[in-house]
């Protein structure tokens, strides 16, 4: 206000005097004040406190466990059904996570239970029609994709082969007519009128250049066309949707009931402790404000809300409750709404903007002048967002009113891609690519700083989230002498901190092998792997702790002495923890074991010592809540680690002087930097939340998948397909806004980085994504697809060999020094050669590997678009299981599977064309024996540990073999094993074919015997095409 005083602006001068009296606060602090001032109305004590994160998690966990124990004791049938239908092997931990997830989402709504039951409480017929409309629109989008791709194929034909273009033009016209009909009259009408639409295959005489250019376009167009027409089922849609929703509504109501019971128990826990959480503050404040709205509205003449795009529905209701008409001023940018995980709803902002743009109740003021970024950065942002961001993707049209307007010249933006060799795949290849990308970034940063214009503290590296790439970038920078600081605060798994927790675990219960081995191998025990082998051999059948006790008592020597000393100390501490105050004992344990002295001798000891301080503070919070119980303390720590990924949250400390900062995009919001690198743009979008049994959506509330526990059938529903599509689009929109936020942090230079495998192949993929941005799998897809053929943003490919870790001359002294810091000396004496032995394989892969003479299970199989022989075999197996259970007709069983949406239409057709195979088995003698058996197993999954040597490796490592046996039946207290095969065999080849499956059947028999304890007396292969059975000898 200095300028106001100089100019004599009386209005601003008055405001400068009054600003100290303004009520400026966050939502939560405002709500806390409202509740405290009206505690009697809110129904709380005036001296209530607010729960911290650790205490809140502990309280919720205790309330949920208490609830589940009660429901188990009551033998609650609805609860039992929830467990049976929606968890793996009745794992209640999964259901606990679901309850908390639903509860958290509910608390972001003004009327939580009404929202949760949105779909469950809607009128059945109206809801089905709503689903039908949404489902048709979703499928129409698939038809639009087919039109777009076929149009591009036809354009290529017009350029390269006029004769082919004349054939493609009518096909394209027919597709466009169908698309127009679908948009105007609906998908159901189009399914009937345009069922003949098809995209013919390219004739053999077509030019090779055209085939090469349009092969993928036609294939993708055909796939989308099938998605539109393939499952029309117009006649049965209403009946199927009604039956599905009636079934799933039971589960939704049952789940919401469990959430309601949890809410009550959690409320009791909080009331007993005179505490509220942040959700309580919002809901109680809203209740107070609504009860006496006039008084609270009169208190404020003007209401200002910043970052309005991040408002959730409860906060929006609070704003409405305190703002008299015409006095509300909201500031925000929907393009920067990136807090969906905090329940922010950008739809609130979007709706207000639409209303105010039409002057309905308010005024919309557009502010798109950018004073931060140079024109080169602004141009890159506008180029990308103008092509990709829309109402459908990003939830805002990037029009002239949204485009940035730069205010200063200069600046640059480019894409840096680390080009990797094609053909590599898997986790190891991904780690290698991360290392190559990190070194490319580090190398580039050096070139930028060496030019002299920018220092290290001018540079930031932004990432979507912390992961492997974060550590690789830090390593690459430090190796080149570039100081850096990782400023991402999140749970960190520090081995030395884990050791301290393991020590507590062993004191509480020494029968836990992993914690016990950890303590024994540490400085506390002083034993090594050789000692562990001796202990194990000394008493093979006993638990490891018992074997160690026997070894210490019966064997002499250094290892025995160390064990006796360690166990005596543990027993002493066990007695102390039983009698003393819990946290006093934890502090004493830290001091008397000289844990800090040992930490100081490790690499990064100061930071780890701070982490231990933080751990003890967290333990203090948990013990204050849970009481003087070491068991409950450890359980609370386990829940904390599961939730946050570590016991403590520590951000990397800044280096003295200038340093490069590494941070998340969320952490950078509101900041600006001269030079910005946005790294890891090739990382695929996370779609995990669309695969849960219960999906949560703002419009539809809670929706469930269809599970028939009696038939062991789980299937998707029309409702779920609609909701999943909406969630995916909303998630993609937030990812695009995240990219916008990252790009607009740059002042002068912006570098977008990633890695790519197979440059030419990826270029074709990006070319196909042009205009189809919703199909992108990562942020890099948006950038490169929009750039395809335009070069709106400069792209530089850097070969991995230039960006990979530099090969330096081997320095024995440096190697030994580093090894001494990182490894135990015993581990460096004899290092065996690394064998590429997979941890687990499938039985089918073992069979293929044995049959082909190579370990082919190391190579992933390519996905097939059509129904392959393997897929047909799977379908026939499923049909066989149903027929054996019901003894019905094969055609009726296939129709039933299709009606219940377990299989697609083309899969049903494939089964109908091959039903004779299943019907032939029903006439066999093997089937008659199976029918009379007292116990039958179908599609039985198993895991089996076998020696790698049995599978052809020269090593004694153990591998996990996974498989599913088709059928087995119990006859005279022994198993008869049956495996169906769809191989094409003749009388001459059937014996050799059966011999090829001998290893596979041996593994099946071994697994069955080990699991059930019942011997296998016979093994049969039934070749469905040949209609005969072959006995396979052991």
Residue 719 has pLDDT above 70, yes or no: yes
75-123, pLDDT tens digit by residue?
Answer: 999 999 898 888 877 778 889 989 999 999 999 999 998 898 887 787 7
Check whether residue 471 and residue 612 sit in a common domain: no
- Are residue 480 and residue 522 in the same domain, yes or no? no
621 within domain boundaries: yes
In our burial notation (b when 16+ CB lie closer than 10 A, e otherwise), range 685-711 reads beeeeeeebbbbbbebbbbbbbbeeee
Query: Which is nearest to 577 in space by CA: 644, 654, 504?
Result: 504
pLDDT in tens, 435-490: 899 999 999 999 999 998 999 999 999 998 877 788 889 889 988 889 988 876 55
C-alpha 956 chain-centroid distance: 35
Q: Is the pLDDT of residue 651 over 80?
A: no
DSSP-assigned beta bridge partners for residue 275: 49
SS3 492: strand
- Write out the E strands in 410-482: 412-420, 459-463
* pLDDT attached to residue 678: 97
CATH assignment of the domain containing 735 = 3.40.50.300
Both 483 and 515 in one domain: the answer is no
Pair 451, 595 in one domain? no
Predicted local confidence at residue 852, as pLDDT: 42
| Per-residue confidence (pLDDT) for residue 382, from 0 to 100 | 94
Parallel, antiparallel or unpaired: strands 484-486 and 303-305: unpaired
What is the rounded distance in angstroms from the CA atom of residue 412 to the CA atom of residue 672? 15
Using pLDDT thresholds of 50, 70 and 90, give the confidence band for residue 847. low
SS (H, E, C) 77-114: HHHHHHHHHHCHHHCHHHHHHHHHHHHHHHCCCCCHHH
Beta bridge partners of 959: 946
In a domain, 185, yes or no: yes
How do strand 412-420 and strand 746-757 relate by DSSP bridges? parallel
Locate 277 and state its tokens. 């959480």
Pairing of strands 648-649, 713-715: unpaired
Residues counted in the chain: 1034
Specify the 3-state DSSP secondary structure of 328: strand
At residue 520, does pLDDT exceed 90? yes
CA–CA gap between residue 650 and residue 729 (Å, rounded): 34
331-360 pLDDT, tens digit each: 989 999 998 888 889 888 888 888 887 666
Query: Is-contact 417 440, C-beta < 8 A?
Result: no
Per-residue pLDDT at 834: 40
CB atoms near residue 930 (< 10 Å): 18
pLDDT band at 66 (very low <50, low <70, confident <90, very high): very high
**Residue 367: how many CB atoms within 10 A of its CB?**
9
Which CATH number goes with the domain that contains 533? 1.10.486.10
End-to-end Cα distance, the chain: 93
pLDDT, position 271: 92
CA dihedral 448, 450, 452, 454 (to 10 degrees): 40
Give the per-residue pLDDT at 744: 95
Residues 1007, 1011, 1012: CA angle, nearest 5 degrees: 120
pLDDT of residue 493: 65
pLDDT at 901: 63
- Look up residue 26 and give its DSSP letter: -
For residues 945 and 4, the model is more confident at: 945
- Secondary structure class of 788 (helix, strand, coil): coil
% of the chain exceeding 70 in pLDDT? 86
Asked if residue 994 lies in contact with residue 1012, where contact means CB atoms within 8 angstroms, the answer is: no
Residue 494 and residue 610 in contact, taking contact as beta carbons nearer than 8 Å? no
Residue 750 has pLDDT above 50, yes or no: yes
Q: Across 547-697, where does the E strand assignment appear?
A: 648-649, 660-664, 673-678, 694-697
> Based on the domain organization, do 866 and 741 belong to the same domain?
no
Q: Do the domain assignments include residue 50? A: no
Across the range 387-415, mean pLDDT stands at 91
Please report the sign of the dihedral spanned by the C-alpha atoms of residue 843, residue 844, residue 846, residue 847: positive
Confidence at residue 909, expressed as pLDDT on a 0 to 100 scale: 78
Determine the Cα–Cα distance for residues 825 and 303; give it in Å rounded to an integer.
67
At residue 727, the pLDDT reads 93
Q: Is 254 helix (H, G, I), strand (E, B) or coil?
A: helix
Instruction: Among 55-64, 837-846, 1014-1023, name the most confident range.
Output: 1014-1023
Secondary structure (DSSP) of 503-530: HHHHHH-TT-HHHHHHHHHSTTT---HH
- Same domain for 478 and 546: no
Q: What is the mean pLDDT of residues 316-342?
A: 86
The rounded radius of gyration (Å) of the Cα atoms in the chain is 33
Q: Which helix (H) or strand (E) holds 561?
A: helix 558-579
Spatial contact of 969 and 985, defined as CB atoms under 8 Å apart: no
My answer on whether 506 and 585 are in the same domain is: yes
Owner of token pair 């004349």: 166
Distances (CA, A) of 760 to 157, 415, 802: 21, 17, 19
d(CA 265, CA 254): 17
Question: 907 or 867: whose pLDDT is higher?
Answer: 907
pLDDT of residue 645: 66
Q: What is the pLDDT of residues 216-262, one digit of tens each?
A: 888 888 888 888 886 545 557 888 888 888 889 999 999 999 999 99
Tell me, yes or no, whether 499 and 583 share the same domain: yes
Beta bridge partners, 842, equal 962
Which pair of tokens denotes residue 547?
A: 């074997």
Here the tokens at position 798 are 């850097």
Q: Tell me, what's the pLDDT at 806?
A: 40
Residue 560 lies in a domain: yes
Are 423 and 447 within one domain? yes
The CB density around residue 197, as the number of other CB atoms within 10 Å, is 18
For 551-602, write each residue's pLDDT tens digit: 998 888 888 999 999 999 999 898 888 888 888 889 989 988 889 888 888 8
Cα 270-275-281 angle, rounded to 5 deg: 105
The whole-number pLDDT of residue 730 equals: 93
Give the burial class of 167: count Cβ atoms within 10 A of its Cβ; 0-12 exposed, 13-18 middle, 19 or more buried.
Answer: middle
Alpha-carbon distance 657 to 655, whole Å? 6
Number of domains present in the structure of the chain: 4
> Is the pLDDT assigned to residue 35 strictly greater than 90?
yes
> Would you say 979 and 966 are in contact if contact means Cβ atoms under 8 Å apart?
yes
Query: Are residue 165 and residue 212 in the same domain, yes or no?
Result: yes
Residue 947 located in a structural domain: yes
Selected residue with higher pLDDT from 1013 and 378: 378
pLDDT of residue 1: 55
Question: How far apart are the C-alpha atoms of 895 and 882, rounded to whole Å?
Answer: 12
Last residue of one domain, picked from the residues 232, 257, 277: 232
Identify whether 1 is part of a domain.
Answer: no
Residue 854 above 80 pLDDT? no
DSSP secondary structure string, 984-1020? ---TTTHHHHHHHTHHHHHHHHHHHHHHHS--EEEEE
Domain boundary among 803, 830, 865: 803
Q: To the nearest 10°, the Cα dihedral for 979, 985, 990, 992?
A: -100
Q: Which two structure tokens, joined as six digits, stand for 911?
A: 């089964």
| H and E: helices and strands count for the chain | 43, 25
Q: Note the pLDDT tens digit of each residue in 870-901.
A: 566 677 777 777 777 666 777 788 877 777 66
E-strand stretches of 646-744: 648-649, 660-664, 673-678, 694-697, 701-704, 706-708, 713-715
Higher pLDDT residue, 257 or 300? 257
The verdict on residue 497 lying in a domain is: yes
> Quick check: 745 and 374 in contact, CB under 8 A?
no
The candidate with the shortest Cα–Cα distance to 448, out of 414, 417, 479, is: 414
Is the residue at 57 inside a domain? no
Between 430 and 926, where is the model more confident? 926
Domain boundary among 213, 232, 251: 232
Q: Flag the least confident range among 304-313, 354-363, 764-773.
A: 354-363
Phi/psi of residue 745, nearest 5 degrees: -80, -20
| Region 788-810 average pLDDT | 65
Domain encompassing residue 959: 840-1031
Percent above pLDDT 90 for the chain: 32
DSSP string of 343-391? T--HHHHHHHHHHHHTTSSS------EESSS-HHHHHHHHHHHHHH-BT
If you average pLDDT over every residue of the chain, what do you get? Answer: 83
* Residues paired with 964 in a beta bridge: 941
pLDDT at 231: 54
Same domain, 609 and 758: no
How far, in Å, CA of 55 to CA of 623, rounded?
9
- Return the CATH number at 865: 3.90.320.10
Residue 840: enclosing H or E segment and its boundaries? Answer: strand 840-842
Predicted model pTM: 0.72
Q: Are residue 664 and residue 604 in the same domain, yes or no?
A: no
Q: What average pLDDT does range 354-379 have in this prediction?
A: 84
Neighbour-count burial for 779-791, b at 16+ CB within 10 Å, e otherwise: bbbbbbbbbbeee
What single-letter DSSP state applies at residue 960? Answer: E
Count the neighbouring beta carbons within 10 Å of the beta carbon of residue 649.
16
Give the whole-angstrom CA distance, residue 33 versus residue 491. Answer: 31
């Amino acid at each position: 206000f200095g300028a106001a005083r100089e100019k004599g602006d009386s209005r601003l001068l008055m405001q400068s005097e009054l600003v100290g009296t303004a009520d400026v606060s966050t939502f939560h602090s405002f709500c806390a004040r409202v509740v405290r001032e009206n505690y009697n109305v809110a129904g709380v004590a005036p001296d209530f406190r607010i729960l911290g994160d650790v205490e809140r998690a502990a309280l919720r966990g205790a309330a949920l466990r208490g609830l589940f124990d009660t429901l188990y004791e009551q033998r609650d049938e609805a609860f039992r059904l929830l467990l049976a239908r929606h968890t793996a092997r009745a794992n209640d931990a999964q259901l606990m996570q679901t309850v908390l997830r639903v509860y958290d989402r509910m608390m972001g709504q003004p009327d939580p239970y009404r929202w949760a039951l949105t779909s469950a409480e809607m009128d059945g017929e109206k809801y089905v029609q709503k689903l039908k409309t949404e489902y048709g629109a979703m499928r129409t989008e698939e038809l639009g994709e087919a039109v777009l791709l076929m149009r591009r194929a036809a354009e290529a034909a017009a350029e390269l082969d006029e004769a082919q273009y004349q054939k493609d033009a009518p096909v394209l016209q027919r597709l466009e007519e169908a698309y127009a009909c679908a948009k105007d009259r609906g998908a159901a009408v189009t399914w009937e009128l345009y069922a003949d639409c098809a995209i013919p295959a390219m004739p053999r005489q077509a030019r090779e250049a055209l085939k090469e250019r349009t092969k993928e376009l036609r294939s993708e167009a055909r796939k989308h066309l099938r998605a539109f027409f393939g499952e029309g089922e117009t006649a049965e849609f209403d009946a199927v949707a009604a039956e599905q929703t009636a079934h799933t509504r039971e589960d939704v109501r049952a789940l919401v009931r469990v959430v309601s019971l949890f809410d009550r128990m959690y409320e009791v826990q909080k009331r007993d402790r005179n505490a509220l959480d942040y959700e309580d503050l919002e809901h109680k404040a809203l209740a107070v404000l609504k009860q006496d709205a006039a008084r609270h509205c009169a208190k404020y003449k003007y209401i200002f809300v910043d970052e309005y795009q991040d408002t959730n529905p409860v906060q929006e209701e609070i704003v409405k409750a305190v703002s008299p008409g015409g006095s509300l001023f909201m500031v925000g940018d929907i393009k920067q709404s990136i807090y969906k995980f905090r329940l922010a709803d950008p739809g609130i902002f979007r709706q207000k903007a639409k209303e105010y743009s039409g002057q309905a109740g308010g005024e919309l003021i557009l502010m798109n002048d950018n004073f931060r970024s140079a024109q080169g950065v602004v141009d890159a942002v506008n180029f990308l967002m103008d092509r990709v961001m829309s109402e459908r993707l990003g939830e805002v049209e990037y029009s002239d009113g949204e485009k940035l307007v730069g205010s200063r010249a200069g600046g640059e933006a480019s894409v840096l891609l680390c080009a990797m060799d094609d053909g590599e795949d898997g986790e190891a290849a991904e780690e290698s690519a991360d290392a190559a990308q990190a070194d490319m970034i580090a190398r580039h940063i050096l070139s930028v700083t060496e030019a002299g214009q920018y220092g290290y503290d001018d540079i930031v590296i932004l990432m979507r989230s912390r992961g492997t790439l974060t550590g690789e970038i830090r390593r690459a920078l430090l190796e080149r002498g570039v100081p850096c600081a990782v400023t991402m605060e999140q749970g960190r798994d520090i081995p030395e901190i884990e050791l301290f927790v393991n020590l507590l675990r062993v004191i509480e219960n020494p029968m836990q092998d992993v914690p016990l081995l950890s303590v024994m191998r540490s400085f506390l025990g002083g034993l090594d792997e050789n000692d562990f082998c001796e202990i194990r051999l000394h008493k093979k059948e006993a638990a490891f702790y018992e074997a160690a006790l026997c070894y210490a008592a019966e064997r002499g020597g250094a290892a025995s002495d160390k064990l006796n000393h360690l166990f005596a100390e543990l027993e002493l501490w066990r007695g102390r923890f039983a009698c003393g105050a819990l946290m006093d004992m934890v502090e004493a344990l830290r001091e008397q074991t000289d844990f800090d002295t040992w930490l100081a001798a490790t690499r990064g000891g100061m930071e780890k010592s701070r982490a231990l301080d933080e751990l003890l503070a967290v333990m203090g919070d948990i013990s204050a809540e849970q009481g003087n119980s070491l068991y409950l303390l450890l359980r609370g720590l386990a829940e904390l680690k599961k939730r946050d990924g570590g016991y403590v949250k520590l951000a990397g400390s800044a280096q003295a002087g200038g340093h490069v900062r590494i941070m998340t995009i969320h952490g950078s919001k509101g900041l600006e930097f001269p030079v910005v690198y946005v790294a890891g743009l090739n990382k695929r979008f996370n779609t995990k939340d669309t695969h849960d049994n219960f999906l949560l959506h703002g419009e539809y509330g809670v929706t469930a998948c269809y599970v028939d526990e009696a038939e062991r059938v789980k299937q998707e529903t029309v409702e779920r397909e609609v909701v999943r599509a909406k969630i995916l689009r909303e998630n993609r929109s937030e990812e695009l806004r995240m990219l916008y936020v990252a790009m607009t942090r740059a002042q002068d230079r912006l570098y977008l980085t990633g890695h790519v495998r197979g440059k030419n192949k990826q270029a074709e993929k990006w070319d196909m994504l042009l205009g189809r941005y919703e199909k992108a799998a990562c942020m890099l897809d948006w950038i490169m697809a929009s750039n395809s053929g335009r070069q709106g943003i400069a792209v530089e490919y850097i070969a991995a060999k230039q960006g990979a870790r530099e090969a330096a001359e081997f320095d024995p002294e440096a190697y030994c020094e580093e090894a001494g810091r990182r490894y135990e000396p015993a581990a460096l004496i004899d290092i065996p050669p690394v064998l590429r032995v997979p941890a687990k394989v499938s039985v089918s892969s073992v069979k293929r590997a044995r049959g082909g003479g190579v370990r082919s299970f190391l190579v992933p199989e390519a996905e097939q678009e059509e129904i392959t022989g393997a897929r047909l075999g799977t379908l026939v197996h499923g049909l066989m299981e149903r027929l054996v259970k019901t003894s019905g007709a094969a055609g009726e069983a296939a129709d039933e599977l299709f009606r219940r949406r377990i299989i697609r239409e083309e899969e049903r057709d494939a089964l109908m064309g091959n039903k004779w195979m299943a019907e032939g088995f029903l006439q066999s003698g093997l089937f008659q024996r199976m029918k009379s058996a007292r116990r039958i197993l179908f599609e039985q999954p198993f895991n089996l540990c076998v020696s790698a040597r049995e599978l052809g490796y020269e090593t004694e490592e153990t591998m996990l073999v996974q498989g599913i046996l088709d059928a087995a039946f119990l006859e005279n207290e022994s198993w008869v094993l049956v495996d169906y095969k769809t191989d094409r065999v003749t009388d001459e080849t059937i014996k050799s074919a059966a011999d090829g499956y001998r290893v596979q059947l041996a593994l099946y028999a071994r697994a069955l015997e080990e699991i059930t304890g019942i011997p296998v007396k016979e093994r049969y292969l039934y070749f469905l095409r040949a209609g005969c059975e072959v006995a396979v000898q052991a």
